[in-house]
Structure 1
């Protein structure tokens, strides 16, 4: 999707990096403030307001909210729009890492950011950068100390994340067996890296869904903005190949006189897997003779992709193939 907000965000990035040419941006300098930084924070927040309202509309949010008296009121970018994004996508947990070479931060709390945490709250409960924005908007001179590098970085990080959701791009990473590409988690930024989680280790079964993803940490999944996964067509092809291999394996298993004799002599083995029975009945040689994986091995067009994490199912539910 064409993103008219992205060039504006990149201009703010460039101005921030220009500041870094004159100020050594390190942990001890995060409280440095200025009128120029105040201007950049306000510009960030204006963009956040606009993009959050568009995302709210895209999600089917009520564009004509009413107050407690039933009268139409203004649409609020924080409690209404960011509130819905939090409900649908869990944006308060999404993380970015400050990775610009021009920035010399060392403390983890300054490097790893969750800039949209509490962004849908108002008043003293809101995020620090949003409180700074409100103060600067209403009384810039007396609130200038809020215009810090720290608040600017946080507001840019928030805008960066919202831009990624607005673009909503899917990136093809290419064929798995010849893939020499890695996903660039900067996603076009010169300052931040987005958190990414991989969902490409699967436990293959006759029936498949997200429960078949192995080694995916649920907390990291909630924190990630991007997910690396198999394409839908690859996922279906992997499942089809597994099912065909399974049916041939099951046929070999049922026809094996060695296995049938063993099962007859060891009725308790019926509770065990085909793999376990093969090993017990004839060792690895029998296992290799029974098990089939030629369909899975012959597939060479498996592809992976990167999608934006919207807290939705990664993979569709698949039933066994007859």
Structure 2
């Protein structure tokens, strides 16, 4: 269940104030070190929201809300080494990428346009992320730490808050039908500064047994970077699997009854045990292949829908098994 939407309006206000800065400061690579008391205030406000939201997400994941020290005494719950650490273990937030896509930000260097703002955010002290070090510094000693209140640290703090807000919202967004659909996923997801990295899991190698291993090509590192995954919704996935299995049954029956195939295998026993595709191509080429393989059910698929699913590393598609006793229509 998503958290009650208390944090998103606050995030949007912080984003609006950051965008106002761009009216007075040219946001480019060489201006990232620019600092001020106003920026320090925004960093503190961003970080306070991160503290609070990370604790709510931690609670949602079943984190221990009454931690104890090494001697068994109750201690404070830490937003970084407790809360963000659990979020990191569960969702790999340190690798989640966002792009800076605001039209009035003029960053060119990729390290300033592609961010991983929660990298090392679950660590403390000098091992932690730069924006978190800046937060602690300006909170406790603003006068002597003001240079850390920079545009760069604010950008990363706001990016971290953006990602946490996305993880507190609904997990799935309907994109629409695949057939004759002109809708695309808006990766900004309501932001005027950032876009969330996403990957596509719509390439499928259809088999009687289906699971995430059937995604082709495999997502690999892209999955770890992605905040969202574009996929078929579960209902469509099941329907696609059913249609494949029905067509596969017909294909197997045609293959078994084919006189050409029987004659070929009798003359070439070395092909026994090879795939239907290999045998058809060897026995009669593309012409035989098109006569054996059936796509009548698959070709009727016009209701399949896609969705954007929040990437919580808990699996993309349900596991499906071969159909049993299915009547071929």
Same fold (TM > 0.5): yes
CA contact (8 A) 2:27 2:104 kept: yes
Q: What does the per-residue CA deviation read over 1:119-149, in whole Å, with 9 as the maximum and x for residues that have no partner? A: 0100110000000000111111111111000
> 1:148 matched to which residue of 2?
150
Q: Secondary structure at the match of 1:294?
A: coil
> 1:273 matched to which residue of 2?
275
CA contact (8 A) 1:227 1:306 kept: yes
CA RMSD of aligned residues (A): 0.9
> 2:187 matched to which residue of 1?
185
The aligned runs of 1:81-100 (5 Å cut-off) are 81-100=83-102
CA contact (8 A) 2:201 2:219 kept: no
Q: What does the per-residue CA deviation read over 1:155-180, in whole Å, with 9 as the maximum and x for residues that have no partner? A: 00000000000113311111111210
> 1:135 matched to which residue of 2?
137
CA contact (8 A) 2:172 2:310 kept: yes
Q: Secondary structure at the match of 1:156?
A: helix
The correspondence for 1:297, drawn from 296, 299, 318, is 299
Q: Secondary structure at the match of 1:110?
A: helix
> 1:48 matched to which residue of 2?
50
Gaps of 5+ in 2: 325-329
CA contact (8 A) 1:170 1:305 kept: yes
How far the C-alpha of 1:282 sits from its partner, in A, is 2.0
In 1: Cα distance, 2:321 partner to 2:194 partner: 40
Q: What does the per-residue CA deviation read over 1:172-201, in whole Å, with 9 as the maximum and x for residues that have no partner? A: 111111210110100100000110100000
In 2: Cα distance, 1:203 partner to 1:135 partner: 52
In 2: Cα distance, 1:186 partner to 1:136 partner: 30
Gaps of 5+ in 1: none
TM-score by length of 1: 0.98
CA contact (8 A) 1:197 1:216 kept: no
Q: Secondary structure at the match of 2:119?
A: coil
> 1:313 matched to which residue of 2?
315
The correspondence for 2:257, drawn from 255, 258, 261, is 255
The aligned runs of 1:66-77 (5 Å cut-off) are 66-77=68-79
In 2: Cα distance, 1:139 partner to 1:223 partner: 35
Alpha-carbon distance change, 299 to 217 in structure 1, aligned in 2, over 3 angstroms: closer
> 2:7 matched to which residue of 1?
5
In 2: Cα distance, 1:168 partner to 1:137 partner: 33
Q: Secondary structure at the match of 1:229?
A: strand
The correspondence for 1:21, drawn from 20, 23, 39, is 23
Q: Secondary structure at the match of 2:319?
A: coil
Aligned residues: 322
CA contact (8 A) 2:212 2:317 kept: yes
In 1: Cα distance, 2:123 partner to 2:48 partner: 17
In 2: Cα distance, 1:102 partner to 1:283 partner: 58
How far the C-alpha of 1:271 sits from its partner, in A, is 2.7
